[in-house]
Amino acid sequence: MDTRKKKPKSISEYIKIAPKESQTMLREIYAIIQKSIPDATENIKWGMPAFSYDRILVMFAGFKHHIGFYPTPSALRAFAKSLTKYKTAKGSIQFPLDKELPVSLISKIVKFRVKENLEKDDKWRS
């Protein structure tokens, strides 16, 4: 995706300039994440939509053939069995545009990241 020319200031702006092929799924993943963590801060980080509390929980991006979802390596390890049918890398998952988004799985991963983030912060504070 070429968002370098137009730098979006919001997730809605990001979706408007994303590849047309990915916009419907971007709106869908945006809604899934919002519903899973309605009190998170929404931002654009490294040119991608990001949700955070004190630190980034998850990010996503639109491409011509897939949606990139970035929930960190720990989330990929925790959900490895559920992710076998998706292309993954160290901290990312690719959801192809020609398949339905796994709504329940995305929601579980997001909630895992919230829990993980809160637990790490509690350990840091004690």
Orientation of helix 103-125 relative to helix 20-36, angle to 10°:
50
Reference 58, options 12, 93, 95, 6; nearest CA is: 93
> Does residue 4 fall inside a structural domain?
no
* 3 domain residue, yes or no: no
What CATH number does the domain containing 83 carry?
3.90.1150.200
Ranges assigned E (strand) in 5-119? 41-45, 48-52, 56-62, 66-70, 87-88, 93-96
Provide the whole-model pTM.
0.89
**25 within a domain of the structure (yes/no):** yes
Say which residue the tokens 């047309």 belong to: 20
Average pLDDT for residues 47-52, to the nearest whole number?
96
Whether residue 34 lies inside any domain: the answer is yes
Over the stretch 69-109, which tens digit does the pLDDT of each residue have? 999 999 999 999 999 999 999 999 999 999 999 999 999 99
The CB density around residue 7, as the number of other CB atoms within 10 Å, is 11
Rounded to whole angstroms, what are the CA distances from 49 to 7, 43, 126?
12, 6, 31
Residue 73 lies in a domain: yes
